[in-house]
Chains A and B, each alone.
Chain A
Amino acid sequence: MNELKEKAKELLQNGTVKVIIGFAQGTIPNRTKPFIVRSVEDAEKLVFNKYCVNNLAMYLTRKEFKRNGVVGIVAKGCDVKAIVQLIQENQVKKDDVYIIGMNCSGVVSELGEEFNESTVATKCLHCMVHTPHLHHTLLGSLEETPKREDKNFVLMQKIDSMTAEERFDFWEAEFERCVKCYACRQACPMCYCEKCIADKSIPRWIESSAHTRGNFAWNMIRAFHLAGRCVGCNECERACPAEIPLSLLNRKMGMTANKEFDYIPGMNLNTPTLVGTYDVNDREDFIK
């Protein structure tokens, strides 16, 4: 881990960046936490391992960090996907971010657990960016990613085969636990609206009540807003205290975007965004 600390110190000392967003050790061994480095002493506390789960890209759109000029960020491949998408959506300037890319062969799914083949995160099973596809410097080495059955996908197929009524019942039961803490939104790098539609109260579009209607309204609108934009970091699902399987929604939307438009968010800086593009050749057969 020394190369990360040294690189961070070098960047701070030569003035490339004033601040680096990285990870530090958490309360227990198998846990890390986001950590803001402003000095060489801080840089000593940086860590990177299998327990660096957070997608730190969500901090890039915060006003406090935008004020700092070029911001350094410790990023895994999946975090870089978010950074690329943010640049494409004009939320972050390409020249305002210095990416310390980390080779990553997988992270743990649930913080606190030991990393092994049964606890490797679902997103890592199909990862295409173990080596970050955009970076200013690249650190770390790759090992083999543990393999396990993708239970999430099995469940997706099961939901696909349900009738509309069964699907409604499934989601009604899942959403019932929602407490409207909005941790899903807050942890999401793509949820950067200055004022979220759920916070608009004059008039109120999304009921703040955590009952069936309010919970459906919130979770559906969030899923729609992420269609073709979600990079699949799965931070929303991890942050959810009620353990609602939000990845099922986001993954389904992502797969649909890929199938219909051959588009994967966050992969290529030069591809226009899916929802920000109009093409006269776009299919219109869904308008009836």
Chain B
Amino acid sequence: MEEKLISKVNLKMLVADLIKANHIVVGQDEKAVGWKRLSHTDEIVVNSNGVPSNLSYKEFLFAKTEPIFYFRNNKDNYDLIEPANVAASPNLDEQKIVILGAKPCDAPSIEIMSHVFNWDYKDKFFNEKAERSIVIGLACHYQDEFCFCTSVGLNPTSEAGSDLFLVPLDDKNFAIKIVSDKGKEFVQPFIQYMSEGNPKATSEVLDKIKLQERKFEQAKVREWIAPNFEHKIFDKVGETCLGCGQCAFACPVCHCFDIVDEECNYTCGRRMKNWDACQFGLFTIHGSGHNPRDTQGKRYRQRIAHKFKYYQDKFGKTLCTGCGRCSRGCPVGIDIAQVVREINLVANQV
């Protein structure tokens, strides 16, 4: 793998060029609430020591709300109108979505979600954005009690999902690893900003990062859930769970959505694709009024099972990156790693 050196000043220049060329550069906001499209290089936050933001950058690939199509009444029929962002636009392919400074617990999200968005139906909304995305990853020096990336097969230095990968060497310089072909092609026009890399210095920095001890064995959870589907552990969590969607909406890989029609004005309607979450009672309620997941315990079980079993069974991937956003932000302090660890303990007792 090729490796270069880029100074912070030059990284700024690179971002300035991207912004000027009307590419969408997405970075974490200063208050670590979420991610935003950068309009100026002063807004750049590339902090290897920072806590993951409350919300992930997934909304730039899988929008929290977006129109699928518009419809207009035309005498006895309806005219369907494609939304502008998907309609053939010659320049759109060239407008990259550059995710700047994605930690190893954020970078794999696009790849993980791409499985579900390309399984039986190819989701053009997600794919169209995923294709023009470039993920600039960032080695992570942050660690708190809510982090658990090492328990889901990642670690603070993993390059999974990154096209380019930054490693902070000192106050002024980053090592920039060119991870994918997409990344290689992307950096070509900016190669003048980079100098020869020093892989030895980089590995010294990376080697110093302490890996967190694993909190649970995910394979064990996967085996345990089906034969223990009615276990009381889920009801116990469900008892205090509020049933808000904070965990799902903050999650970098939760991808459920709802489809609703709404009016845009008196003559026109639109069909919208909106974020939805399995923790809502409304998520599974049938037209008859019957709800197969009628308690919060059952809904919480779905969350665990989908992340550590169903997604594994179907796509061979864990639907979790261990970022800990759901636990850090939970209004009632439910910590998913603790719950899964408890499941591990229960499974070991049998």
Distance to closest chain B CB from A240 (angstroms): 8
Is A209 within 8 A of B65, CB to CB? Answer: yes
The 9 closest A-B pairs by CB, nearest first: A33-B333, A183-B244, A181-B245, A186-B244, A239-B331, A186-B242, A209-B65, A26-B333, A181-B249
Chain B window 146-165, contacts with chain A (Cβ cutoff 8 Å), 1 for yes, 0 for no: 10000000000000000000
Q: Does B145 contact A (CB under 8 A)?
A: yes
Is B244 within 8 A of A177, CB to CB? Answer: no
Within 227-244 of B, Cβ neighbours of A (below 8 Å) are at 236, 239-240, 242-244
Q: Does B335 contact A (CB under 8 A)?
A: yes
Q: Within the complex, which residue of B55, B244, B335 is in contact with A182, where a contact is CB–CB below 8 Å?
A: B244
The residues of B that contact A277 with a CB separation of less than 8 Å are: none
Distance to closest chain B CB from A212 (angstroms): 10
Is A243 within 8 A of B31, CB to CB? Answer: yes
Is B54 within 8 A of A242, CB to CB? Answer: yes
Question: Given A210-B275, A239-B246, A241-B329, does the pair A180, B64 have CB atoms closer than 8 Å?
Answer: yes
Q: Does A204 contact B (CB under 8 A)?
A: yes
Closest residue on chain A to residue B329 by CB atoms = A241
Distance to closest chain A CB from B303 (angstroms): 14
Q: Does B260 contact A (CB under 8 A)?
A: yes
Chain A window 47-60, contacts with chain B (Cβ cutoff 8 Å), 1 for yes, 0 for no: 00000001000110
Within 180-202 of A, Cβ neighbours of B (below 8 Å) are at 180-183, 185-187, 199, 201
Chain B window 8-31, contacts with chain A (Cβ cutoff 8 Å), 1 for yes, 0 for no: 000000000000000000000001
Q: How large is the interface on B (under 10, 10 to 19, 20 to 34, 35 or more residues)?
A: 35 or more
Distance to closest chain A CB from B200 (angstroms): 37
Q: Does A79 contact B (CB under 8 A)?
A: no
Q: Does A27 contact B (CB under 8 A)?
A: yes
Q: Does A144 contact B (CB under 8 A)?
A: no
Question: Given A179-B55, A210-B274, does the pair A32, B249 have CB atoms closer than 8 Å?
Answer: no
The residues of B that contact A181 with a CB separation of less than 8 Å are: 244-246, 248-249, 277
Distance to closest chain B CB from A137 (angstroms): 23
Is B145 within 8 A of A27, CB to CB? Answer: yes
Q: Does A146 contact B (CB under 8 A)?
A: no
For the A-B complex with A28-B145, A204-B260 known, give 20 more contacts whose Cβ atoms are closer than 8 Å.
A27-B146, A28-B146, A34-B332, A34-B333, A36-B236, A36-B239, A64-B295, A111-B333, A180-B275, A181-B246, A181-B249, A183-B331, A186-B242, A187-B242, A208-B258, A209-B274, A210-B274, A239-B331, A242-B55, A243-B54
Distance to closest chain B CB from A251 (angstroms): 20
Question: Given A26-B333, A238-B331, does the pair A209, B245 have CB atoms closer than 8 Å?
Answer: no
Q: Does B282 contact A (CB under 8 A)?
A: yes
Is A209 within 8 A of B55, CB to CB? Answer: no
The residues of A that contact B202 with a CB separation of less than 8 Å are: none
The residues of A that contact B280 with a CB separation of less than 8 Å are: 182, 199
The residues of A that contact B146 with a CB separation of less than 8 Å are: 27-28
Q: Does B33 contact A (CB under 8 A)?
A: yes
Closest residue on chain A to residue B330 by CB atoms = A33
Q: Does A31 contact B (CB under 8 A)?
A: yes
The residues of B that contact A112 with a CB separation of less than 8 Å are: 328
Closest residue on chain A to residue B53 by CB atoms = A241
The residues of B that contact A94 with a CB separation of less than 8 Å are: none
Distance to closest chain A CB from B341 (angstroms): 11
Most A CB atoms within 10 A — which of B64, B250, B281?
A: B64
